């Protein structure tokens, strides 16, 4: 299997580096297709052996179509495996994407699978490669993601940073040649589970149009800061645009409009028409039209600490185009609170309680702290017994299952 993966990788690289001989490219692609079919038939045999559980293709008696968390993971994992991604990497992708839907971040779960599969199909990224450390000190590391899967690179970098924080109190890892890494908050959760503070961020392809700009000049560059408490936590995780572009995609699956203040049309005018917004891909920075310089400044700082620092692409050098590697930059900072004042977790809980004690105009709307909405959403999923997707999303899954010859999504009965 390893040998096959290796050949596969070489062939992909041959295509990526654009073999000038067209006939040669066609032959390479044919070999890749034969391999893909062989791999698929193996996966299907394995899957059929493991079939079972209370699932259906039609949904619950009430007509609700809920998908159990394990089934979401199974489906996504199968889609990646059918796209020639090794099982360990497929597993990381599936668990990370499914965790988004579980936490209510519907823009970055199932909604993103199609994008990844297309990127794999067009060899824009390599699902098989593992990241490597280019240079390292006790507190820092510079990592080459080798154009692999963003979540695989992110898990690797976060673990590396955590090991350093354990040893010397702080770990700062910068990755180059990376790809879309889903959402930063999930990697901070890894650090928080061990009692560390986690901070990580990424640059992305240009989608942000600051006031006066006629073109997008920075990405939606997300950032997350997370800290563990004694029995709770603080986990902030946002785009530096008013919303993530995935929220436009999810909105388009639901209806024709989006809230005012999210995006501009292609003439640079504010729009609530989701089609026009998706066509223009001009998102307003955090702070909107009047105060967007705040999101713009923050997104620029993120680009400096990722793309510029790690020698990845940045700003409009980043290209999101079929078959073209993105070369994104990310960084992962882990702080070990034990190296500072004692009892950090207890003070963090006290801090959270102080925020929650804020006087509010309506007692029903108690002040929430970052991370609360996700905890609430997970409780709802557990209570309902599964995740509910829009009809449009389910159709997209059906299409994927046919295209990749993967068992269709099963619903909770």
Specify the residue, 74 or 155, whose C-beta has the smaller distance to ligand NAD.
155
The helix or strand, by DSSP H or E, that contains position 75, with its residue range, turns out to be helix 69-81
In angstroms, the CA 286 to CA 262 distance is 9
For residue 398, give the nearest of 37, 10, 65, 43 by alpha carbon.
65
CB 223 within 8 A of CB 184: yes
x/- track of binding to ligand NAD for residues 125-164 (CB under 6 A): ----------------------------------------
Assess 180 for contact with ligand NAD (CB under 6 A).
yes
x/- track of binding to ligand NAD for residues 92-131 (CB under 6 A): -------------x-xx-----------------------
Helix, strand and coil in the chain, % to nearest 5: 50, 15, 35
CB 249 within 8 A of CB 111: yes
Least distance in Å: CB of 224 to ligand NAD?
Answer: 6
Assess 247 for contact with ligand NAD (CB under 6 A).
yes
| Segment interacting with ligand NAD, rule: CB under 6 A, options 6-14, 115-123, 243-251, 379-387 | 243-251
CB 188 within 8 A of CB 226: yes
CB 132 within 8 A of CB 73: no
Least distance in Å: CB of 278 to ligand NAD?
Answer: 15
Binder of ligand NAD out of 114, 139, 236, 396 (CB under 6 A): 236
Binder of ligand NAD out of 32, 141, 149, 238 (CB under 6 A): 238
* Angle of the 245-254 helix axis to the 110-121 helix axis, nearest 10: 110
Assess 319 for contact with ligand NAD (CB under 6 A).
no
CB 319 within 8 A of CB 327: no
| Segment interacting with ligand NAD, rule: CB under 6 A, options 171-179, 241-249, 295-303, 341-349 | 241-249
Specify the residue, 32 or 369, whose C-beta has the smaller distance to ligand NAD.
369
x/- track of binding to ligand NAD for residues 355-394 (CB under 6 A): -------------xxxx-xx--------------------
State in Å, rounded, how far the first CA of the chain is from the last one. Answer: 37
Specify the residue, 43 or 245, whose C-beta has the smaller distance to ligand NAD.
245
What is the size of the binding site for ligand NAD (CB under 6 A)?
A: 27
CB 239 within 8 A of CB 220: yes
224 phi and psi angles, rounded to 5 deg? -135, 140
Specify the residue, 289 or 355, whose C-beta has the smaller distance to ligand NAD.
355
Assess 244 for contact with ligand NAD (CB under 6 A).
yes
Assess 83 for contact with ligand NAD (CB under 6 A).
no
In angstroms, the CA 405 to CA 401 distance is 5
Binder of ligand NAD out of 189, 243, 282, 284 (CB under 6 A): 243
Specify the residue, 182 or 387, whose C-beta has the smaller distance to ligand NAD.
182
Residues 6+ apart with CB under 8 A from 267: none
Q: Which two tokens stand for residue 304?
A: 């400096």
CB 230 within 8 A of CB 268: no
Residues forming contacts to ligand NAD in the complex (CB under 6 A) are: 105, 107-108, 180-185, 202, 204, 220, 222, 235-239, 243-244, 247, 368-371, 373-374
């Amino acid at each position: 299997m390893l040998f096959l993966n290796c050949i596969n990788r070489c062939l992909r690289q041959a295509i990526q580096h654009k073999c000038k001989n067209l006939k040669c490219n066609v032959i390479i692609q044919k070999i890749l297709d034969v391999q893909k079919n062989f791999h698929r038939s193996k996966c299907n045999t394995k899957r059929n052996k493991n079939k079972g559980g209370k699932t259906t293709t039609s949904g619950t008696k009430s007509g609700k179509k809920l998908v159990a968390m394990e089934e979401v993971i199974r489906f996504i994992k199968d889609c990646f495996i059918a796209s020639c991604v090794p099982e360990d990497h497929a597993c990381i992708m599936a668990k990370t994407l499914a965790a988004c839907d579980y936490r209510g971040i519907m823009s970055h779960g199932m909604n993103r699978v199609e994008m990844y599969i297309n990127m794999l199909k067009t060899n824009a990224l390599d699902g098989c490669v593992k990241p490597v450390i280019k240079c390292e000190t006790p507190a820092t590391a510079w990592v080459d993601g080798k154009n692999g899967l963003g979540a695989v690179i992110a898990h690797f970098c976060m673990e590396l940073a955590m090991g350093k924080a354990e040893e010397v109190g702080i770990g700062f890892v910068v990755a180059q040649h990376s790809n879309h890494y889903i959402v930063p908050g999930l990697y901070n959760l890894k650090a928080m589970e061990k009692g560390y503070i986690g901070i990580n961020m990424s640059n992305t392809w240009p989608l942000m149009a600051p006031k006066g700009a006629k073109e997008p000049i920075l990405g939606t560059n997300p950032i997350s800061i997370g800290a563990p408490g004694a029995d709770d936590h603080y986990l902030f995780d946002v785009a530096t645009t008013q919303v993530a572009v995935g929220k436009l995609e999810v909105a388009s699956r639901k209806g024709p409009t989006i809230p005012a203040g999210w995006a501009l049309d292609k003439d640079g005018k504010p729009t609530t028409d989701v089609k026009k917004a998706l066509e223009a891909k001009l998102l307003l920075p955090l702070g909107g039209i009047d105060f967007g310089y705040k999101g713009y400044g923050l997104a620029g700082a993120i680009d400096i600490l990722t793309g510029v620092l790690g020698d990845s692409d940045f700003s409009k050098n980043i290209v999101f185009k079929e078959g073209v590697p993105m070369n994104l930059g990310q960084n992962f900072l882990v702080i070990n609170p034990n190296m500072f004042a004692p009892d950090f977790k207890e003070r963090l809980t006290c801090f959270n309680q102080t925020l929650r004690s804020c006087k509010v105009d309506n007692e029903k709307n108690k002040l929430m702290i970052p991370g609360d909405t996700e905890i609430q959403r997970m409780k709802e999923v557990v209570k309902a017994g599964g995740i509910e997707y829009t009809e449009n999303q389910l159709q997209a899954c059906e299409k994927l299952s046919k295209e990749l010859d993967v068992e269709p999504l099963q619903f909770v009965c």
